[in-house]
Amino acid sequence: MNSHIKRLTSLAQYNIALTHLLAQCIKSGASLGFNTCNNTQPLSAYWEAVDMQLTSRMFLGYFCDNTLVGCVHYTRCLKPNGVHRAEVEKLLVHPQYQRQGIASALMQSLECEATKQGIELLILDTQTGDNSEKFYQTSNYIKCGEIPHFVRDSNGLFFSTSYYFKKLLSTS
């Protein structure tokens, strides 16, 4: 299998693949800001909005045999006192490709690119108790807090979200 990570500067040609990837991750139980994926229009609209904001974002796609099976992006802080930080968003790996090191490869590439761009601090959030917490902890992200009652699932149940950060090596 031929696999590689590619920086994407436009998402338009990948909208269908990204929408499918997001839908499959939601179906597998991931908390990604959407309660259901029965209607893919909001998922597609999400990627369209991300595409229009790529000037402040860095987006990586993971491809296996030219099929997009994973992605991650970060958004730089645009405030003058926060240009050294970025927020990691939507680390996704298709359920059929999980547990193969793809998430780790994406995060390592993201951190490398962030360092090259002078970003020294990455932050992220994830649903408390989700499997992703173990992944981020193993990847040396530090949990710095938890907000209760933060998200609601399709059944109306509330869940907390956990916040993580990682200081990157400075390039200066």
Predicted pLDDT at 37 = 66
Q: What is the pTM of this model?
A: 0.92
With 0-12 / 13-18 / 19 or more C-beta atoms within 10 angstroms meaning exposed / middle / buried, residue 9 is exposed
Predicted pLDDT at 171 = 53
Rounded Cα distance, 134 and 136, in Å: 6
Predicted pLDDT at 106 = 98
Predicted pLDDT at 122 = 98
Predicted pLDDT at 77 = 93
Domains of the chain, by residue range, sit at: 3-167
Fold of 3-167: Aminopeptidase (3.40.630)
pLDDT tens, N- to C-terminus, the chain (172 residues): 799 999 999 999 999 999 999 999 988 877 787 776 678 898 999 899 888 777 788 999 999 999 999 999 999 999 999 999 999 999 999 999 999 999 999 999 999 999 999 999 999 999 998 889 999 999 999 999 999 999 887 777 899 999 999 999 765 5
Predicted pLDDT at 34 = 78
Is residue 150 a contact partner of residue 160, using CB atoms and an 8 Å limit? yes
Predicted pLDDT at 170 = 66
